[in-house]
Amino acid sequence: MMLAAGLLGLAFGVSAQQAEPEEDVRMTRAERAAANERYCIRETGSRITASREARSRSERDACINAGGRVYTREDIERSGGVDVKDALRRLDPSIR
C-alpha cells in the first residue's frame, strides 16, 4: 500500500512538470560561414600565384587545406601591441 502511494505521488509529480520550450540552437548557413571564416586561410606566401591562376572565383575564395592561425588587421590593431611582433605575442601566447 505504501509502495502504491509512493508511485502514485511520483507519477503526479512527473506529470505536473511542464516541458520548457527548447531554444532554437540551429545556426543559419550565414552564421556557420561567419564562424568558420575566422579559421579560413586563403592566401599564404606559397598560394599567391595559385590564387591568381584560379579558374573561378569559388576556387580563389576557397580555404586552403592547411593548418595555421588567422589574425585580421582589426585583431592586430585591437591587441594594443606596439609592433606586429608584440601584437602577435599578445594574440597567441605560443608565439615567442
**Domain annotation covers residue 5:** no
35 and 60 share one domain: yes
The answer to the question of residue 4 being in a domain is: no
User: What is the domain extent for residue 35?
Assistant: 31-65
Task: Name the nearest CA neighbour of 63 among 81, 34, 36, 91.
Answer: 36
Indicate the pTM of the whole model.
Answer: 0.41
**Model pLDDT, residue 68:** 73
Each residue's pLDDT, cut to its tens digit, for the chain (96 residues) gives: 665 656 556 555 555 555 554 444 566 766 666 656 666 776 666 656 555 666 766 666 677 776 777 788 888 899 999 998 999 999 988 888
The answer to whether residue 15 sits within a structural domain is no
Do both 75 and 89 map to the same domain? yes
Indicate whether 58 belongs to any domain.
Answer: yes
pLDDT for the residue 94: 87
In this prediction, residue 23 carries a pLDDT of 47
Q: Can you tell me the distance from the alpha carbon of 90 to that of 65, in angstroms, rounded to the nearest whole number?
A: 26
Tally of domains in the chain: 2
For residue 71 the three cell numbers come to 589574425
- 53 shares a domain with 37: yes
- Determine, yes or no, domain membership for 22: no
**How many other C-beta atoms lie within 10 A of the C-beta of residue 60?**
14
